Structure 1
Amino acid sequence: MNPEDAPGTSIALREYARARSVPLDPATGRALAASGVLESAVPDPHRDGHWLLRAGSLVGAVRLRVPETSCSLTVRITPKTPVRRLFFLLGFSLDPAKAWRSGRDGTVDAGAYEDVVPALAHAVERQIDAALRQGVLQGYRRVEESALVVRGRIREAEQLRRHFGRTPPVEITYDAYTADIPENRILRAAAESLLRLPGVPGPVRRRLAHHRVRLVDAEPLVRGHALPAWQPSRLNARYQPALRLAEVILAGASPEHRPGDLRLDGFLFDMNALFEDFVTGALREAVREHGLTARLQDRHHLDTVGRIRIRPDLVAYAADGRTPVGVVDAKYKTEKTAGYPSADLYQVLAYCTVLGLDEGHLVYAAGRTDGHVHEVRGSAGPQGQGIRLHQHALDLNRGPDELLADFRDLAARLAAVPIRLRS
């Protein structure tokens, strides 16, 4: 049955929008609350048979199958940012260096689609098509099996343990040249994941089904198991863009591969992680133009005995690779009436104190106050003045060139900071 024809209910929500009251049976409501897809799902105290649903930072689409019912529930969560800009951020998370060099939309091709599901399905299909254009990749895979004829080497220990030395069958091991390799398993799983979702355009669905047939010799992935590991090489270079995009769907937050009785098919982007990856990836490329190096999630300790760990999103270092010149933390938050949370400033102040810096930077996804500077009372930076904390707000609705220009400006500011001699 085509997923679009399967019985079920569809709910459309928006990232971080106000809670919506939706009619749901108790079993489906409880399953949705337990799935972790939404920020909150609770019974509506004012309407019987309704649940209040509020989306958080996860955007995308999932289909939930509740064991107690025969129907399914499809939840679509649209991002606040335009889909094309979402895919621009995704391109940076997949390949920051390439996205920085191109400096334009289209690092991940979303086609002309304005909804997340058809746009991602189109992008994945185009990447798989490009990967398979020169044929299905094959490689060597270690095979261990029982056989009636000897091929490769005999597994002597297994032969004695299983058959007491009798032959046949023979326990053998050999390297098979096959299409059943991790790269093809991942691409097949990504295509099948999208084929199970409603909302995939008919032409894209047909092309994905064609790719699945071409990859039929690759074993399907087992739900709940980790994705198979692959190593970038010259041989699989044409596969790598498709593999990175496929892993976005299948790995990490992808609910399809979570163990348990609750069945979820689909994909989710965590906008918190996506924004952080975009900011740190773009800024890392920008500081390289000034001869600086950047380390992401750099580990330090707040206390002298090393018990309290801190991990700034990005620390920029001078050319020697040892002297810090700047620290940046990314926050996927928007400014509220009362301003940005004060806890963010405390966090960056701690980073500056540990790293011996007199300036720290916070980068937000949106806000009305860009370039706000706080000078910390009673603090003395290495240059004698108070520690200054800068707040920057990115407008994700702007074009790629304008966004990247902001990072170039921030990188130039970090590069202009005098080298500090730490005691």
Structure 2
Amino acid sequence: MELEENSRTGRTVSLTPAQVDYLRRCDLVDVRPNGTDFTLVPKAKRVGAVHAYGLDVVVTPKLTIPRLLFMLGYAKNPGFLPENVEGVEADGLWAIVAETLCRNVERALNRGVLRGYTTRDATSTTIRGRVRVGDQVTRRPGRLIPVEITHDEFTSDIPENRLLRAAVSRMLRVPRVDGTVRTRLQHLLNRLTDISPLAQGAPLPRWRPNRLNVGYQPALRIAELVLNTLSFEVGRNGLSIASFVVNMEKVFEDFVTVALTEAWSSSPGRTEGQFPAALDASGAITMNVDVVHLVDNAPRFIVDAKYKLESKSGRYPITDLYQVLAYCTALGVDRAWLVYSGRAANATTHRIRNSPVTITTYALDLSAPPQDLIAQIERLARSAWT
């Protein structure tokens, strides 16, 4: 079943109790009783796909899937490149995510499985590295052998490979992955069989970009995206459940925040997201501003990101302007921007009466190629200083 993002009509279907229970928990659709059946309506600003107890529900974004993946990846790491996700020839969310992961991991492993040094604790009859004196005294008081040591080991069982293995393993468990892609993923997993699997619920291994893992970096960023967004569980009677659910409002806010931080990185001052502010003198009325740029520790510019489309009249809700005006008042800032998702258009400036505040509405065309999308943000960033 396929639904469109923010559709208000939905689809009416027959569901089992298990399907109803899961769909109500997955945060993708509202499940509304309709006689003996149920009507599924997409939740506001949610997109993605779920597979549960034989039922497939997909809420397609207004963006292309590769563009959505780019924004997700860039919001986590501005080193995420458009070519990591563009050009995938596949149909549907599951297929595109699986093919994107498979293609990038194949490229990463083309030159072999990466090896590196990792620090390990061990119990040994010979001394290597350094002795963990505290553990030795606690576990074996008065004994010299065996000895508790910490040593560096040159191995393939490093964070980078653990990330790749975890992402490939999770993708293989999704029932809707194409047979050909599944075979390729299984081949990749076979190459990583010596790598330690991640414990369920454990945090993702941390890695740092360096000259040794440069060929791995695109695959690592895709792997992190998959592991942070794709969930899998075994439901009743051992049936597989998979979900890939995205909050578009958060993706948009995070993307704008990171892109502006990058664009202003060479300018004086610093950029902060979710900046705390208080509207009243006592600090009882608190709020968080999406993006604030500070110079000499004083707020200079404010940006509020709104994932919503303009109305047919070409206007945005006036309440958004009230909100930004409150931000400006609280922080003593006289220039602010309201950034919307929508068709690219000329920025509209509103000079507030009886106030020094100027608020500019600025639409981002999310359908533009990634380079153009970043360029739109950079134009906004430059305009702040003019």
TM range (shorter): 0.7 to 0.9
- Structure-2 residue corresponding to 1:57: 45
Quote the Cα distance in structure 2 between the aligned partners of 1:154 and 1:87.
46
8 Å Cα contact 1:325-1:415 kept in structure 2: no
Show the 5 A alignment for 1:86-105: 86-90=68-72, 92-96=74-78
Alignment of 1:278 onto 2:255: yes
| 1:181 Cα deviation from its structure 2 partner | 2.1
Q: Mean alpha-carbon deviation: is it higher for 335-344 or for 174-183?
A: 335-344
Query: Which of 62, 72, 75 is matched with 1:80 structurally?
Result: 62
Alignment of 1:256 onto 2:232: yes
- Structure-2 residue corresponding to 1:419: none
- Structure-2 residue corresponding to 1:350: 326
| 1:368 Cα deviation from its structure 2 partner | 9.8
Quote the Cα distance in structure 2 between the aligned partners of 1:165 and 1:274.
58
- Structure-2 residue corresponding to 1:421: none
Alignment of 1:112 onto 2:93: no
8 Å Cα contact 1:22-1:53 kept in structure 2: no
Q: Mean alpha-carbon deviation: is it higher for 214-223 or for 229-238?
A: 229-238
- Structure-1 residue corresponding to 2:339: 363
Alignment of 1:135 onto 2:123: no
Show the 5 A alignment for 1:214-253: 214-251=191-228, 253=229
Match of 1:188, SS state, is helix
| 1:373 Cα deviation from its structure 2 partner | 4.1
- Structure-2 residue corresponding to 1:398: 368
Aligned residues: 381
- Structure-1 residue corresponding to 2:32: 42
Alignment of 1:328 onto 2:298: no
Offset from partner CA, 1:363-389 (integer Å, 9 cap, x none): 111269864444434x422xxxxx232
- Identical-residue share of aligned pairs (%): 39
Alignment of 1:24 onto 2:12: no
8 Å Cα contact 1:91-1:107 kept in structure 2: no
Quote the Cα distance in structure 1 between the aligned partners of 2:358 and 2:109.
52
- Structure-2 residue corresponding to 1:7: none
Quote the Cα distance in structure 2 between the aligned partners of 1:127 and 1:214.
15
- Structure-1 residue corresponding to 2:189: 212
| 1:42 Cα deviation from its structure 2 partner | 3.1
Quote the Cα distance in structure 2 between the aligned partners of 1:79 and 1:130.
28
Offset from partner CA, 1:293-342 (integer Å, 9 cap, x none): 5513153422445555433222234xx55454421111111234685344
Match of 2:327, SS state, is helix
Quote the Cα distance in structure 2 between the aligned partners of 1:176 and 1:402.
45
Match of 1:299, SS state, is strand
Could you tell me which amino acid in structure 1 is paired with residue 252 of structure 2? F
8 Å Cα contact 1:14-1:55 kept in structure 2: no
TM norm structure 2 = 0.82
Could you tell me which amino acid in structure 1 is paired with residue 245 of structure 2? L
Could you tell me which amino acid in structure 2 is paired with residue 313 of structure 1? D
Quote the Cα distance in structure 1 between the aligned partners of 2:260 and 2:146.
60
| 1:172 Cα deviation from its structure 2 partner | 5.5
8 Å Cα contact 2:24-2:30 kept in structure 1: yes
Q: Structure 1 stretches of 5 or more lacking a match?
A: 1-10, 65-70, 100-104, 382-386, 417-423
Alignment of 1:413 onto 2:379: no
Quote the Cα distance in structure 2 between the aligned partners of 1:238 and 1:309.
45
Quote the Cα distance in structure 1 between the aligned partners of 2:143 and 2:56.
56
Alignment of 1:376 onto 2:346: no
Offset from partner CA, 1:180-213 (integer Å, 9 cap, x none): 2222111111111222224434443222222111
| 1:287 Cα deviation from its structure 2 partner | 4.1
Q: Structure 2 stretches of 5 or more lacking a match?
A: none
- Structure-2 residue corresponding to 1:299: 275
Quote the Cα distance in structure 2 between the aligned partners of 1:160 and 1:292.
54
Q: 1:342/1:202 Cα in 2 relative to 1: closer, same or farther (>3 Å)?
A: same
Could you tell me which amino acid in structure 2 is paired with residue 366 of structure 1? G
Alignment of 1:12 onto 2:22: no
Q: Mean alpha-carbon deviation: is it higher for 348-357 or for 80-89?
A: 80-89
Q: 1:178/1:265 Cα in 2 relative to 1: closer, same or farther (>3 Å)?
A: farther
TM norm structure 1 = 0.76
Q: 1:56/1:167 Cα in 2 relative to 1: closer, same or farther (>3 Å)?
A: farther
Could you tell me which amino acid in structure 1 is paired with residue 368 of structure 2? R
8 Å Cα contact 2:175-2:240 kept in structure 1: no
8 Å Cα contact 1:301-1:307 kept in structure 2: no
Quote the Cα distance in structure 2 between the aligned partners of 1:84 and 1:254.
15
Could you tell me which amino acid in structure 1 is paired with residue 327 of structure 2? Y
